[in-house]
A and B are shown apart, each in its own frame.
Chain A
């Protein structure tokens, strides 16, 4: 954090180039936008609403670049036209809006991480995420731009390749509904998607750090928006094509569920999609840091002591304050889905009008007042380095203090790996039979000690078989855990075998959904009919069944 440097439009230190702007914008709009595109898009308008949204976002982008490139940039435009108090108020509104965006993103990402990567306490997920955000948010715009360049291809290539592979597996006709849908509906659905393009607003602050004419910048910005739009289209088409309209539009984690079904790798990794998700996650975190960075910049300006502060560096007090506001807002809603619902409403009805209205009003005022003399720019704000150091020390101590917690997990050898799951029965009275690939000696001993009279457990040349009656899969799991001190692991399940009554899709809808939710079985796990030869079976997976049930009985 270079505190002595003051923004100077001619200084190389605070200039970015078009490539950097492109990387930043695509990462910020693309990563989060793609994750939620299916949730927000219209049921009946499909791909058309996405295309309309891209067109609208082009107009939005043009407006931001146009006003952002006004003489001296948007900062100067506001600061030279509005009285001090109003100006500070404006920056506070911007900063609060960005805190809301950031808080929602935090909420959504912690939920995503919890569901896909790390199912521990939300707070424990949030803490390191905040640390990374603060660290990234306190860098200069140039350093952030370089980081965007650095991770750009790492994020884009894996996801791009994954979804290109997915085209082959997707039913593309689902994404493109009949063209008879009224244009008004398409437009409405396109507008509903606009919140995903809100990070484009940051262009208004950034374009002043670019060199080149307004026309060239405009052209490049449009290309950037189009590229990110193409990425969204690809993700949307493949996701909806794989999950189906109902499941895809109804699912907060639709894209990750689709990723899970696209790839079933038999090489180094069995679940390659997790690796790809990590890269995507990095890009999404970058989007949060963008709001944090911009918010703290505006806070610095809002609370500048000596006139107008115009630094392009991070200031620690501002970063911490902005993070604090974000955290407070994060706890407004306990669940990510309610947060998302509220946020989308807020974005559609308040935020987008504000993000368009405010710049237009200030620009008009500027045009009227441009004959007035510009105010002089002077530095402000003291940097509280000590507070930053103390914060880091506290964070490290907390992390080290809880290091022992990392072992609070079932070790790799303490689980029972389920190879096959056979289910018979109906209506909350099932007989589950598991074929286990591996079971530790300790678990076998525990079982024999505690259940010597019970013969539900058999062993034959290293293959273990366990069967029991239960009303649900979760009850079955719990019984096994009590008897063996060991937990089932379904991550390497090679098949679910259903008897002829359960093989009928409607009869096993709840059961299969519970299996997915409670065991985290992979969506590409095949489902077989118990009484049929393997060669005669249809190729049906757990994902296919859930999709079918969503479409035909979306209770």
Chain B
């Protein structure tokens, strides 16, 4: 840690690098390593088709993270609005293409990654909301009039993602936005009112859900009702998890995934695969490592310069986003939440999530590296 006399002086590249939190980065690498190990096991002790690919993607993810971390934080403030608008346009394009006739395609192929605009939107909404809340006074945030603009900022992308249809991602953005509204100082009663009216309009909303979405929710409520179709995932995931016991069946010996009883064993349900082989000890370890990451997130937000409200808001927003990934995925796999198609970041196979969470970590680290100075506006 470098001690500087003039706290507002910009740091050199080397200083910024040395200012990064390497324990935080180490935990990210450990989690990615656990992911690769599990993918190696699922493939029947083979690097291909998943583990090697995933490792390569994670390598690229690391590069992206370091790049994002070494950028001056002012850049994020500046690009927040253009980035938000750009992502919104991508989202509209993907939606339009999907509707015109290529099926429900949600991504743009970038070679190594499939870029999902909805994934980028998670970051864009956080940046844009943070920018908005950092520029308006508390009184405005507490007034009804003052939250109309941020509500629109959130509602537009959420609606576009929901019609893709991608219920999971749109809900994640919604929850993340709610958390940020709360952090910014919106009063409790407004949330209570919103939740109350949401519950009141739930039957109406139910009407607009797709059949498969209705099915997922019904199946969640009673998986045994339909054991061969939608309920199968949940039942098999529970069997995989439950049979793991305290210690484990041992690496490479999970029968549920190896014998392919567990569908999506390398993507959304990878936590069940992992916990079958490594037991409750392993599962708890993954949860614990993630808890450390999230705690670091809060620590970063607390630690950076007290005048950097934008930075604090961005860190907390991205951190909440990461938390939601972890919580929703594991709650879904363990049968506490309906199956919504949220992967377990750093561990599930797939490039999109790596791109999005590694960028997020990079942005968080960028603010942290410049923690002792104000944001130049």
Q: Say whether A associates with B.
A: no
